[in-house]
Structure 1
Amino acid sequence: MTIIQLRLVFLVLGTAVPSAWSNYYIPYLDSVPMPRPIPFSMASYSKIMPIASGSRSSQQCGQCKLQSYFTENDIQTDAKLNTLELIAKYGFPSENHIIQTADGYKLSLHRMPRPGAKPVLLVHGLMSSSACWVQLGPSLGLAYLLYLKGFDVWMLNTRGNIYSRDHVRGRIPDSEYWDFSYHEIGTHDLPAAVDAIIQKTNQQQIQYIGHSQGSTAFFVMSSEKPQYANKISLMQSLSPTVYLEHNRSPVLKFLSVFNGGFALLIELLGGHQISLTTSLIKKFSKHICSLSVVTSRICAIFDFILCGFNWQGFNQTLSPIIEGHSSQGASAKQILHYAQQQGQQTFQRYDYGKVLNLLRYKAAYPPQYNLSQVNSKVQLYSGSGDWIGSFADATRLQNLLPNCIGNTQVASEGFSHYDFTISNDIRSLVYDQVMGQCQNN
């Protein structure tokens, strides 16, 4: 291990760095500008989420509750409810389907059923779950909005999150259970979900919307199993984290330095499953939290420390809901796979190092994913404040896809990675276009 790598270890673990190394400077640790937060106001409880007037499809919802605001009790309650309980609270129908992958993981596939309607599959991002599509209620939750537009809505929970922890072999060692990255999600989880939906609905094709890792895994699936790209009539990618050449995440930059140091990286992340109290939280929280908000629990959530947070687009009165549905589970290997790609012009399988690569891949370097196989229509969306899903990297992806129909940069300064699911203005900024594309394809 080099001196600079050891210095980074001392830095993260909070121990003193030998004075002889004091001339080594890690420039990116202080390179991310600090956003200015929106002031917190208790008065804003009364008018948080205005509801659009009901359409014919919303009138068909029966018991749906399209309330025009969140009360304080709503916020505290919704923070504790699971996905199906949230859907039930607001009067929408729901189902839970358990599907099994080819390698033995049992996944929970949530549905807001509308039999006979066009099915659309929503796949959450890194460290998230199906709750991200419903947590902000019928006014802003994409699952509700699509259902009210007449779609049959399905929400996958990928392996390792709180809804998809079971395995056909029962409890297996952590080192074995958590030995996956977005590659296995793309090659096993997504095909199982697509097949289950097509079988249940008797439809030949479905639509797909992925956020963050939900996008990454789609492009893995379509590259590795191109027959599944033919089953997707339209894919919409919210923050297409495929190329990370222009990554701005300090955490990913830090982890990328430890190429090959897997054991040390596992320790830094708190184990094979990412720890909720990893030491990286304390060391990197300053990049999203100024002194004025440092006491917010948002500052202690690894999801946002890894990918960034936009206080300008977020109403802090909703913090308990966001906190309650964050950090839903992920493997350290998922993070490390992304870290391997930061600053690179590659989209490839997990890099085990030259020796193990030769054993696994019969080559010193991991195989590249073949994006020319992605025959589905693809619409891309990115934000100017997204640390790991830049417009420049989305444009590179656009140029390599055979059927990309659009590449939209969200018209909001500082729009960040998780704004795609928690922004106050997400409907007008993104979801209206997303729903329009769904209806037109």
Structure 2
Amino acid sequence: MFRLVIFVAACVALAAARRSPNADYVEDLMKSPEGSRFSDNINEDALLDVVIHNVVTSDGYILELHRIPHGRGDTPGDRPAVLLVHGLLSSSADYLIMGPGNALGYLLADAGYDVWLGNARGNYYSRQHISLNPDSILNKDFWRFSWDQIGLYDLPAFIDYILKINGQDKLHYIGHSQGGTSFLVLNSLRPEYNEKFISFQGLAPASFFDNNENTMFNTLANYESILETTAFALNAQEIFGSQDFITRHCVEGSIFNNFCQSALSGLFNREYYNSTMLPVILGHTPAGAAIRQVAHYGQVIRSNSFRRYNYNALTNLREYGSLTPPEYNLSLVTAPAYLHYGLADRQVDYRDLLKLANILPNVVKVNQAERETFNHFDFLWAMDVKEVMYDDIVASMRHAELNL
């Protein structure tokens, strides 16, 4: 049995804890006949959340950064820092909800690391700004960002804050999916940050989609030019956000129903998932994002290039000095890179990851999960993920430390 409240006790608190994003849904589920098959302990864990550090970006976003300063039985002291950053529609909870002994955040703390977990702007934990209101209908400027801004502004704010608190000059970075995308953005646009990393552990980092065979991705990509405009007109600039998306949209007749069924089937109807963890996962996922993040990936798919966000010709000229958005210069991403992937990943095709590996100038290791059915979400929630992937990640971090 685990308790996420262990994390509350372990962290250095700068603010009070609060409930998980989909706690109302979990409570309703527990009252239903289906909920009777889940234990009370799991139910409680699904409703728990963590304490926070507040970090302010240079463009005014107030982000939540969570910390596990040391492992069980350890005492505070000097130890390497590691920053974990989540994927699209996710949060720091991804690295904690499987509990001590299983979740990557806890395993790293027990392995001797000072663990920090970031929450990108716009997710449930980072919906604040010094002047902009994320819930305003009249002014929607809070939501005018993609993962370009996450890499350009959020990551430097996290990194500088962590190194100041930790007292060291380098840290490890672990990014899943969009967390890997934003790392590539940062170090191509601000290459001086490469010197701040002991290693980059990319867990299926999303960049190229040349071999993408995901029907949903390809369908959305066809509408990337009107996706944000339409969403803003419908007051839907926040996608799958702090509102209870599951109970509002994963219902019969909803345009999102097929998406929900596909996602849930892919996540849970397999032998490598513990079905009793369902309410815990759904208690924290999805955690929300800006519609522009989705549109930007759509642009990458349609243009067949990993490039900055395409506004329009005039805005591009003002922002980039060219009528079309420039590609990210990946030759500038010189931090030691360790790339991890699964052959059954339908979100980041392994062939596209291998393309990225051939372009980055300092790839130390490319690690394929031994299990051939390992997919995109197995990085977070598979029962065998420690043996299949996490042990290799820790070994890669140790390797990078020896080569400083």
Kept in 1: contact 2:224–2:298 (CA 8 A): no
Q: Of the candidates 269, 281, 287, which is equivalent to residue 311 of structure 1?
A: 269
Question: After superposition, what is the alpha-carbon deviation per residue over 1:347-383, rounded to whole angstroms, capped at 9, x for unaligned?
Answer: 1101123343234323221111011111110011111
TM-score, length-normalised on structure 2?
Answer: 0.80
Kept in 2: contact 1:212–1:241 (CA 8 A): yes
Alignment partner of 1:127 is 2:89: yes
**Local SS of the residue matching 2:161:** helix
**Local SS of the residue matching 2:140:** helix
Q: Which residue of 1 aligns with 2:202?
A: 237
1:265, distance to aligned residue in structure 2 (A)? 4.6
**Local SS of the residue matching 2:200:** strand
Kept in 2: contact 1:187–1:225 (CA 8 A): yes
Sort the Cα spacing of 1:323 and 1:332 in 2 relative to 1 into closer, same or farther, 3 A.
same
**Local SS of the residue matching 1:79:** helix
Distance in 2 (CA, whole Å) between partners of 1:106 and 1:389 is: 30
Q: Of the candidates 65, 68, 79, which is equivalent to residue 117 of structure 1?
A: 79
Q: Of the candidates 220, 231, 256, which is equivalent to residue 266 of structure 1?
A: 231
Distance in 2 (CA, whole Å) between partners of 1:259 and 1:153 is: 36
Kept in 2: contact 1:309–1:417 (CA 8 A): no
Question: After superposition, what is the alpha-carbon deviation per residue over 1:102-147, rounded to whole angstroms, capped at 9, x for unaligned?
Answer: 0000111111114311111111111111111110101211011011
Distance in 1 (CA, whole Å) between partners of 2:182 and 2:209 is: 15
Q: Which residue of 2 aligns with 1:72?
A: 39
Alignment partner of 1:404 is 2:371: no
Distance in 2 (CA, whole Å) between partners of 1:381 and 1:146 is: 17
Distance in 2 (CA, whole Å) between partners of 1:377 and 1:132 is: 24
Q: Which residue of 2 aligns with 1:350?
A: 309
Sort the Cα spacing of 1:102 and 1:351 in 2 relative to 1 into closer, same or farther, 3 A.
same
Matching residue's letter, 1:122: L
Matches within 5 A, 1:175-194: 175-194=140-159
Moved over 4 A (4+): 267-270, 277-280
Sort the Cα spacing of 1:253 and 1:280 in 2 relative to 1 into closer, same or farther, 3 A.
farther
Kept in 2: contact 1:247–1:343 (CA 8 A): no
**Local SS of the residue matching 1:210:** strand
Structure 1, unaligned runs of 5 or more: 1-47, 50-60, 62-69, 85-95, 289-297, 300-307
Distance in 2 (CA, whole Å) between partners of 1:259 and 1:165 is: 24
Question: After superposition, what is the alpha-carbon deviation per residue over 1:173-227, rounded to whole angstroms, capped at 9, x for unaligned?
Answer: 4621111110000000000111001111110111111111110000000000011
Distance in 1 (CA, whole Å) between partners of 2:160 and 2:349 is: 32
Aligned residues: 347
Sort the Cα spacing of 1:386 and 1:270 in 2 relative to 1 into closer, same or farther, 3 A.
farther
Kept in 2: contact 1:310–1:416 (CA 8 A): no
Distance in 2 (CA, whole Å) between partners of 1:280 and 1:222 is: 38
Matching residue's letter, 1:284: F
Q: Which residue of 2 aligns with 1:284?
A: 259
Distance in 2 (CA, whole Å) between partners of 1:157 and 1:166 is: 12
Distance in 1 (CA, whole Å) between partners of 2:354 and 2:65 is: 32
Matching residue's letter, 2:54: I
Kept in 2: contact 1:394–1:407 (CA 8 A): no
Matches within 5 A, 1:400-439: 400-439=359-398
Distance in 1 (CA, whole Å) between partners of 2:267 and 2:312 is: 33
Structure with greater Cα Rg? 1
Kept in 1: contact 2:228–2:292 (CA 8 A): no
Matching residue's letter, 1:82: D
1:321, distance to aligned residue in structure 2 (A)? 0.9
Q: Which residue of 1 aligns with 2:50?
A: 83
Q: Of the candidates 368, 373, 382, which is equivalent to residue 341 of structure 2?
A: 382
Sort the Cα spacing of 1:337 and 1:152 in 2 relative to 1 into closer, same or farther, 3 A.
same
1:249, distance to aligned residue in structure 2 (A)? 2.5
Distance in 1 (CA, whole Å) between partners of 2:318 and 2:46 is: 46
Q: Of the candidates 27, 42, 63, which is equivalent to residue 107 of structure 1?
A: 63
Matching residue's letter, 2:155: L
**Local SS of the residue matching 2:374:** coil
Distance in 2 (CA, whole Å) between partners of 1:391 and 1:435 is: 21
Distance in 1 (CA, whole Å) between partners of 2:215 and 2:233 is: 14
1:439, distance to aligned residue in structure 2 (A)? 2.1
Q: Which residue of 2 aligns with 1:295?
A: none
Distance in 2 (CA, whole Å) between partners of 1:311 and 1:344 is: 34
Sort the Cα spacing of 1:310 and 1:413 in 2 relative to 1 into closer, same or farther, 3 A.
farther
Which segment drifts farther, 316-325 or 420-429? 316-325
Sort the Cα spacing of 1:141 and 1:352 in 2 relative to 1 into closer, same or farther, 3 A.
same
Question: After superposition, what is the alpha-carbon deviation per residue over 1:301-353, rounded to whole angstroms, capped at 9, x for unaligned?
Answer: xxxxxxx5363222222111111110111010011111111265411101123
TM-score, length-normalised on structure 1?
Answer: 0.74
RMSD: 2.3
Identity of aligned residues (%): 35
Structure 2, unaligned runs of 5 or more: 3-9, 11-36, 71-76
Distance in 1 (CA, whole Å) between partners of 2:54 and 2:343 is: 37
Sort the Cα spacing of 1:192 and 1:367 in 2 relative to 1 into closer, same or farther, 3 A.
same
Kept in 1: contact 2:90–2:286 (CA 8 A): yes
Distance in 2 (CA, whole Å) between partners of 1:165 and 1:388 is: 26
Q: Of the candidates 106, 116, 124, which is equivalent to residue 154 of structure 1?
A: 116
**Local SS of the residue matching 2:387:** helix
Which segment drifts farther, 258-267 or 359-368? 258-267
Matching residue's letter, 1:135: I
Kept in 2: contact 1:398–1:404 (CA 8 A): yes
Matching residue's letter, 1:309: L
1:247, distance to aligned residue in structure 2 (A)? 1.8
Alignment partner of 1:141 is 2:103: yes
Sort the Cα spacing of 1:248 and 1:343 in 2 relative to 1 into closer, same or farther, 3 A.
farther
**Local SS of the residue matching 1:139:** coil
Question: After superposition, what is the alpha-carbon deviation per residue over 1:241-275, rounded to whole angstroms, capped at 9, x for unaligned?
Answer: 01111223322211111242245652799710004
